[in-house]
A = this chain, B = another copy of it.
Amino acid sequence: MARLVGNALIGQSGGPTCVINRSLVACVEELRKAREVTGIWGARHGVEGILKEEFVDMKGQSPAALAALLDTPSAMLGSSRKKPKSDDCQKIFEVFKKRNVRYFFYIGGNDSAQTANIINELARGEDYQFRTFHIPKTIDNDLLGSDHTPGYGTAARFVASAFMGDDLDNRALKGVKINVVMGRHAGYLTASSVLGKLDRDSGPHLVYCPERKFSMRRFITDVDRVYRRLGRCVVAVSEGINKGKGPKKLIVYEAGMVMLRPGVRKELPKDEHGNPQLSGTGILADYLVYRVRKALEPKYEKTGKKLRVRGDTFGYLQRSFPGVMSEVDAREATAVGKAAARFSLSADIDGSVVIRRKQGRRYAVEIDFLPLTDVAQGERRMSKGFINAAGNYVTKRFINYALPLIGKMPKTGLLKAKPVKKRR
């Protein structure tokens, strides 16, 4: 087989993660070894940069400069939320032809696989020799075809650590604590809140994922039950909890309708259906705190107990906090970047890199690839077996699945001290 001579272009897309730059560096380093790859370029801000021909030279980067990116969170080339339409894809293909781009790597979620696929079809239609690979990344862990996705393990480690610390905090100053976790459609990240628990009575005591319909009544009953037993309760809630399909069924939408003055609500950013977009704010946590207080405070006041209820929204820290990294996730982010370059150099093939977990007691994976369309066609939700029947916690099966992905947690412990006998 004749080698395909030409330039390589790499882009990053979607929400940043802490390990996405590892995939970038690994891909660049692998491409460097191949003589047929003449230029190695990075596209600034994904498809936006490609459309504007804003490329940077990655071949000229020193090994030290690349090494400095390994532990640096966020997409170093810049990212983009743009989903290119078919005429954008046509323009992108024109740029590729003009610049002799023969290898294209797009690091991102299922939209990125879709983009790579459309451009690939255009190339095929014109008999333009071209190879493209989608390199998976998302903290949501919702890509089809893979056991799990690079970016998830580190974000899950952050969330597990945050809940470990927050539960310890809530043992010291007791109350009800509600934390909102990223993940609009998939509950994987919210579910990972349980992975740092120090004992059976550690929080989170309740976990709500978007895959199950949320009932405010049951939620409050759940909180009350835990609080009565322990005098404290830590709750993990996905930002995407809902009463059914569609933006108006989101609890965050209800939060806006109940809490905000109509004039303020009107001014909030709208989604494509004209409904107020309420993500990226603290209102869901605030609303759940409000509902719990309203329902339970009077009850506990009667017994002379002051109910303390607080809410936090973990926000962007979940995907970009430096210095907290799952070593497993970091290793695999490197592996998928390297594999994408190798696959593309090995034969006239295209695809989306996937991670498969090997059978067996010890955690091990193999890196393979699937047709782009297999990964592009949708999102993966939490499997039914990962959420308990009541819809308010995860199962042992989920813990077995997720625990190997977050790496070794920091060493911590609970004080187990005997009470000193009281004296009359």
The digit string for A389-424, where 1 denotes a CB below 8 A from any CB of B, is 000000000000000000001111111111110110
* Distance between Cα atoms of A422 and B52 in the complex (Å): 9
Query: Smallest CB-CB separation from A419: which chain B residue?
Result: B56
Q: Does A310 contact B (CB under 8 A)?
A: yes
Query: Which residue in B80, B281, B290, B418 is a CB contact (below 8 Å) of A267?
Result: B290
Determine if A145 is an interface residue (Cβ-Cβ < 8 Å).
no
Q: A319 CB to closest chain B CB, in angstroms?
A: 7
**Main DSSP-derived SS at the A contact region:** loop
CA distance A216 to B291 in the complex (A): 31
Q: Are B310 and A316 in contact (CB under 8 A)?
A: yes
Measured CA separation A412–B76 after assembly (Å): 11
Contact A165 B73 (CB under 8 A): yes
Measured between beta carbons, the chain B residues less than 8 angstroms from A324 are 323-324
Tell me if A423 and B99 are in contact (CB < 8 A).
Answer: yes
Q: Once the chains are docked, how many angstroms separate the CA of A313 from the CA of B289?
A: 15
**A310 touching B260 by the CB < 8 A rule?**
no
Q: A310 to chain B: which residues have CB within 8 Å?
A: 280, 316
> How many interface residues does chain A have, given as a range?
35 or more
A70 nearest in chain B by CB position: B411
Given known pairs A16-B168, A310-B316, A317-B312, the reply for A410 and B323 (CB within 8 Å) is yes
Closest Cβ–Cβ distance, residue A272 to chain B (whole Å): 13
A16-B420 contact given A290-B264, A415-B56, CB 8 Å threshold: no
Residues of B within 8 A of A412 (CB): 68, 71-73, 322
B169→A65 contact, CB < 8 A: no
Q: How long is the Cα–Cα vector from A118 to B59 in the complex, in angstroms?
A: 69
List A271-318 residues whose CB lies under 8 Å from chain B.
280-283, 285-286, 289-290, 293-294, 310-317
Chain A residues 127-186 with CB under 8 Å of chain B are 161-162, 164-166, 168-169, 171-173, 177
Asked if A110 is an interface residue, CB under 8 A from chain B, the answer is no
Indicate if the CB atoms of B60 and A317 lie closer than 8 Å.
Answer: no
- CB within 8 Å for A267 and B286 given contacts A79-B173, A166-B320, A260-B261: no
- 22 A-B contact pairs sorted by A residue (CB < 8 Å): A39-B420, A41-B420, A53-B422, A53-B423, A55-B419, A55-B420, A61-B415, A65-B416, A78-B171, A80-B173, A161-B322, A162-B321, A165-B317, A166-B320, A168-B322, A260-B261, A281-B289, A282-B283, A283-B283, A312-B313, A322-B410, A323-B410
**What are the 7 A-B residue pairs with the smallest beta carbon separation, nearest first?**
A282-B282, A68-B413, A312-B315, A74-B168, A56-B417, A323-B410, A165-B320
Given contacts A99-B423, A166-B320, A312-B316, 13 further A-B contacts (CB under 8 A): A15-B173, A60-B417, A73-B412, A74-B165, A76-B415, A98-B423, A169-B319, A169-B320, A269-B293, A280-B310, A281-B286, A312-B317, A322-B409
